[in-house]
Amino acid sequence: MLTFCPFSRQRLAVAAALFAAACAAPVLAQSTPAAAATPPAAAASDVAVPALQPVVVTGNPLRSTQTSAAVSVLDGDALVLRRGSALGDTLDGLPGVSSTYFGPNANRPVVRGQDGDRIRVLSNAGASLDASALSFDHAVPIDPLVVERIEVLRGPAALLYGGSAVGGVVNAIDQRIPRTPARGLSAAGQLRVGGADGQRGVSAVMDQGSDGWAWHADAFWRRTDDLRVPRFERPDGAGGTGLSTRVLNSASAAQGGAVGASLVGAWGHLGLSVDHHGNDYGVVTEDDVTIRMKRDKAAVSGEWRDLAVWLPALRVQGSLTDYQHQEVEGSGEVGTTFKNRGGDVRVEAVHARREVAGGMLDGVFGAQAEASRFEALGEEAFVPSTRTRNAAAFWLGQWQADPRWQWSAGLRVERASVDSLGDADPAEPKFGAAVQRRFTPRSASLGWNGDLGEGWRLTGSLSRTERAPTSYELYANGVHAATATFERGDTAQRLEQGRHGELGLHWQGSGRQVQLQVYRSDFGRYIALLPTGEPDVVNADGEAFPVYAFRAVPARLQGWELQGTQRLWQGAGSTLDLEAQWDGVRADNRATGEPLPRIAPQRFKLGLAWQGAAWRWQAEVLRAQAQDRVPSDDLATPGWTQVNVAGSYRWRWQGQDALLFVRLNNLGNTLAYSASSTVTVRGLAPLPGRSLSVGLRWTL
């Protein structure tokens, strides 16, 4: 029983063919009445009604204005001020969200203590194929410079997105496939300089539309230097230390762009986009190793409204991705090459509202399929080449008999195959013969959202999830440089199973609001990387690596997120608000009684935000407690306190809307480390030191 305790790319031709084949559908759809439903949530509100806010799309196929899920949204000026060089550090500090922080370039979001293949990173609600979950030094090929909105769903979302979303979902939303009619030509640009990494970044976006067509183009360019940090004692690799004020080999060079087009109207939209992302960056644990990453992607998206009385909406989206990165030694030799090629298709059919058991039932049937081929080539590959396929069907319904209460329930069944292709060279056996594994994960959920009156709202959910083991959890066998361990998978792994519960209490009054979430997840088989106690593996250079294996253990994660806002003053077109936040998570291996690794400590934030007609200023104090609840093979992380200040000024000039912004971080130049980093990188890559960054965004 659950209780709650806050402690306890030929691919482009295929995509174009899909686009052309589907163009007949809008003609049929145009003969039906205009949709009365809300436009796709990934688009902004219609300019004729600027007061309306976009509906959260992540985990919300029925486009409800209220859901039982805990969701954080970053967009507009808030996103402009928080943008970092990577997705992880952009989101770090949101309620329940931290970062794997393998230096400033490779950091993936951590949600409620879970990372890797338990957090699904999406692009416009579709799959983002890469290799970031395999290793902490692999970056996510999504650049915050061109993202317009980020939604973070905290907690299990396996019902809609599969077992790899058991801990949450991060959805980066852009307008590369236009979903709403464009009125003439609009363009926007952004310039950013400064920061602890000496960032020089520029991005540009253009949208145009006429006669039911809409076009989009964007591009970005960014360069950074080695990260500046407070003076610290850096391990020299020979057992000693030396003073440094830089994170060595942390510079980066990234660029990319996209073009897209859609046929749009009151009936819906049908569009296609192609994009390229490139990023070269240093690996901070090795002074002369650089990762050269590139990713090409083609995507299609369509939505048809009011196709039939029984079918209010039909949505289809898919993508094809070609990802590759090379790990290049200082000599210029390519040590290891990782490739991931694949695609995904997702269909959602919203069925008509009907009366059921004295209430009204809305629902959506969905199907999803993904396939990818992953290759790891080179001496340092610690996993074999693999082929992964997944097909799933799901249903989600919302039932309401009382206008104050809404109930939701859903089911999902998947069929997953994870196949090892065996040794690339039989003369050098490492991974053995080819192996095939099949799994059938099932997930179910129940949720509620109730209006208690007088501004109070109660939300909650119960769910049971299953996750198929990943390729590395099954087939790993070799030295993993990022963790400095010899990692071994287990081909006999079974489904990871978890039970989850969450309660949320929300109150909103005049100039004030409070949100509290408490949650708990119990896993009967939680696949963790644990030390085996075996003798170290010694390589040809005489380096010793401790042996770790992926094992299923009982585990529990539980925690809380509390945030609130109090208006202190209002008058003459300006406001002053007090903002506060407190979150924490406790994660335990119940087999050994030890804590699970890389868990963020309790964190506190207290801030002031002043908003005027043109000016906006905010100041905040961040406190991270010491993290001494660590397993025996990890080290405690000291606590730290930082002060940040940010401001912006908005004005209009010759028909252009401009925003000048400035951000001053870590005013006290406090030395700080991330507890959610691996122990191998933590001592080499402190968090950024005192920095000043400025930027300008303009819109035509």
Closest CA to 624 of 679, 678, 585, 663: 585
pLDDT category at 54 given cuts 50, 70, 90 is: low
Cβ–Cβ under 8 Å, residues 262 and 225: no
- Please give the average per-residue pLDDT across 589-605, as a whole number: 96
Extract the tokens encoding 202.
């520029």
Extract the tokens encoding 429.
């056996």
Cβ–Cβ under 8 Å, residues 173 and 121: no
pLDDT category at 380 given cuts 50, 70, 90 is: confident
pLDDT category at 595 given cuts 50, 70, 90 is: very high
How far apart, in Å, are the Cα atoms of 34 and each of 148, 307, 309, 317, 700? 27, 10, 13, 22, 30
| pLDDT (0 to 100) of residue 637 | 97
Query: Which residues pair with residue 271 across a beta bridge?
Result: 262, 301
- Please give the average per-residue pLDDT across 345-363, as a whole number: 94
- Please give the average per-residue pLDDT across 16-21, as a whole number: 37
Closest CA to 207 of 272, 284, 259: 259
> Which 3 state secondary structure label does DSSP give 646?
strand
- DSSP E strands in 596-668: the ranges are 603-611, 615-624, 640-653, 656-665
Give residue for tokens 């080999």. Answer: 249
- Please give the average per-residue pLDDT across 695-700, as a whole number: 93
CA distance 350 to 335: 49
**What does the DSSP 8-state code read for residue 76?**
H
Cβ–Cβ under 8 Å, residues 178 and 106: no
| pLDDT (0 to 100) of residue 6 | 39
> Average model confidence (pLDDT) for the chain?
90
| pLDDT (0 to 100) of residue 27 | 34
**Does 67 have pLDDT greater than 90?**
no
Closest CA to 447 of 464, 431, 435: 464
CA distance 115 to 595: 15
Q: pLDDT of 477-517, one tens digit each?
A: 999 988 899 999 999 999 999 999 999 999 999 889 999 99
Query: Which run of H or E residues covers position 11?
Result: helix 11-21
Domain ranges of the chain: 11-699
Contacts of 414 (CB under 8 A, 6+ apart): 162, 163, 390, 391, 392, 439, 440, 441, 442, 468
Our CA angle for 283, 287, 293, nearest 5°, is 30
**Does 36 have pLDDT greater than 70?**
no
| pLDDT (0 to 100) of residue 236 | 81
Cβ–Cβ under 8 Å, residues 100 and 115: yes
DSSP string, 433-477: S-EEEEE--EEEEEEEEEEEETTEEEEEEEEEEEEPPPHHHHH-E
| pLDDT (0 to 100) of residue 11 | 39
| pLDDT (0 to 100) of residue 63 | 85
Q: pLDDT of 605-663, one tens digit each?
A: 999 999 999 999 999 999 999 999 999 999 999 999 999 999 999 999 877 899 999 99
| pLDDT (0 to 100) of residue 53 | 56
DSSP string, 314-352: EEEEEEEEEEEEEEE-TTS-EEEEEEEEEEEEEEEEEEE
Cβ–Cβ under 8 Å, residues 693 and 193: yes
3-state secondary structure 558-594: EEEEEEEEEEEEEECCEEEEEEEEEEEEEEEECCCCC
Our CA angle for 120, 412, 522, nearest 5°, is 65
CA distance 579 to 78: 14
- Please give the average per-residue pLDDT across 87-116, as a whole number: 95
Q: For 246-255, 337-346, 370-379, 421-430, which range has the lowest pLDDT when averaged over its residues?
A: 421-430
User: Largest Cα–Cα distance in the chain?
Assistant: 79
- Please give the average per-residue pLDDT across 240-262, as a whole number: 95
Closest CA to 408 of 400, 419, 416, 397: 397
**Does 273 have pLDDT greater than 80?**
yes
pLDDT category at 8 given cuts 50, 70, 90 is: very low
| pLDDT (0 to 100) of residue 421 | 93
CA distance 527 to 470: 10
CATH tag, 11-699: 2.40.170.20
Burial class (CB in 10 A: 0-12, 13-18, 19+), 412: buried
Cβ–Cβ under 8 Å, residues 346 and 368: yes
**What does the DSSP 8-state code read for residue 45?**
P
| pLDDT (0 to 100) of residue 23 | 39
Cβ–Cβ under 8 Å, residues 82 and 72: no
- Please give the average per-residue pLDDT across 118-128, as a whole number: 92
For the beta sheet containing 126-127, the strands, ordered from the edge strand earlier in sequence to the opposite edge, are: 70-75, 149-154, 168-173, 119-123, 126-127
Percent of the chain with pLDDT over 90: 80
Contacts of 250 (CB under 8 A, 6+ apart): 103, 104, 105, 197, 224, 226, 227, 281, 282, 284, 685
Maximum average pLDDT range among 179-193, 324-338, 426-440, 657-671: 657-671
Burial class (CB in 10 A: 0-12, 13-18, 19+), 383: buried
Amino acid making up residue 234: R
Burial class (CB in 10 A: 0-12, 13-18, 19+), 16: middle
Closest CA to 277 of 257, 303, 298: 257
**Does 203 have pLDDT greater than 50?**
yes
- Cα dihedral value 108, 110, 114, 117, nearest 10: -20
| pLDDT (0 to 100) of residue 656 | 86
Please count the other Cβ atoms lying within 10 Å of the Cβ belonging to residue 110: 29
Q: pLDDT of 536-577, one tens digit each?
A: 999 888 889 999 999 999 999 999 999 999 999 999 889 999
Percent of the chain with pLDDT over 70: 92
Q: For 55-69, 251-265, 309-323, which range has the lowest pLDDT when averaged over its residues?
A: 55-69
DSSP string, 92-127: TTSTTEEE--BTTTB--EEETTB-GGGEEEEETTEE
CA distance 369 to 584: 35
